[in-house]
Chain A
Amino acid sequence: MDFLDILREKAFLGREFLTWLWFKCDQADGRIEMPGNRVYEVFFLDRMTLDMSDVDTPQTVTLKGGHSELREGLAALKEGKKIEEARISVRAGDNEFTMVLKGTWFSLGAFRTPPILPAAEADPEEGMEATFLEKIALIEEGVEIVDRLFEFFLSVRLSDEWDARELPAMRRWIASGLE
């Protein structure tokens, strides 16, 4: 399969990841227990777009607002839509990152790291390089958290656990949201 074929046919993987991530956050109040006894804090913030990828005329729903507005997303999930993008915040240690994570391209919109204090270097060029290195280290830390979450998702998605436990649990969660 060439790249465009993969992009089209496997777009569901990124969307299922985002949808699963929302499920995990909602179930655990944002504290996701990762393999290896680490805890990541993940929150879905004020924006979410859901889409149906397998239909000829794509149907997109964008939700903005607080917790109750986002829960309308469950109605979209019930129709078979999946999350295409969502603004989330993630934290693994001291640092919190927010971004609009996109399911099809795995691109990161409006990615924000904790602020960097201006470097105290005497030489302005050295100062710029220090700032650059600090910033890229933060960016990579944030991207790494997303990678680990995706890896966790894959370990479940590619196991027997998916059909046996996880998928039924997600369906119950989606059904329950409409009461």
Chain B
Amino acid sequence: MGFTARSVSMMRYRIKGQIEGAFWDAVDEGMRKGAFRSLEGSGELIGMGWASIDDFADTEFRGSSYVRGNYIGMALRIDTVRVPARVLEMTLRQEGKKLMEETGRRRLSNAQRRELKERIVETLKKQVLPSIQVFEVIWDTAQAVVYFASLSVKARERMEDHFKKSFGLPLIPLIPYLRAEELVAGSLRVELLEKLKPSSFIP
């Protein structure tokens, strides 16, 4: 579900800090630095990074295609592979039995079991089709605001982290109190806001 869909759920962020030096050059560098790439490792995550907002298979951003007026539009693509637990358990048991027969042992050591499991997971991962998730991001460069088209906690955390790694800029969710701080900044009401306590509406 993206921003051009009929209905979109979104978080709003304030960008803290500023980009050093030439803005659009730094943005370009960040996009390339954070572009989607495959990841090695034993976990479920096999790929993550920025992709084109129009085509999640396009991760090259030819001609700075992410620029739209004062806005930057991109998608965070997250590829995961999940080996079904029972398939893993069954394969582990089969392969464990084979290994014990081959080595003539009646049980496997913890180290052997661990190493066997890692090997099996790697093999099975290659047989499972990946799940590809795409989360859209719009960066309003004029207002230093980012809109993220998902409310999923995990997706948000990944995006916040990846944005910071790519561009060196932290994203702060614009929760009511922080938005209020911005709206009253420089006025006498700052102190009133800081000291504010909940009211009771009970009649």
Binding site for B on A (CB under 8 A): 3, 6-7, 10, 12-14, 16-17, 19, 54, 77-80, 82, 100, 103-112, 115-116, 128-129, 131-133, 135-136, 139-140, 143, 147, 150-151, 154, 157-158, 162, 167, 170-172, 174-175
Contact = CB atoms under 8 A, between A and B. Distances in A.
B71 A106 contact: no
Place the interface of chain B in its size category. Answer: 35 or more
B7 A150 contact: no
Contacts of B105: none
B128 interface: no
Contacts of B54: 128
A13 B203 contact: no
What is the predominant secondary structure among interface residues of chain A facing chain B? helix
B202 A78 contact: yes
A136 B173 contact: no
Contacts of B7: 110-112
Contacts of B140: 136, 140
Interface in B15-59: 53-54
B4 A135 contact: yes
A148 to B, nearest CB: 10
A147 B179 contact: yes
A177 B77 CA distance: 49
B199 interface: yes
A12 to B, nearest CB: 4
A77 B68 CA distance: 45
A6 B177 contact: yes
A140 B71 CA distance: 12
B8 A133 contact: no
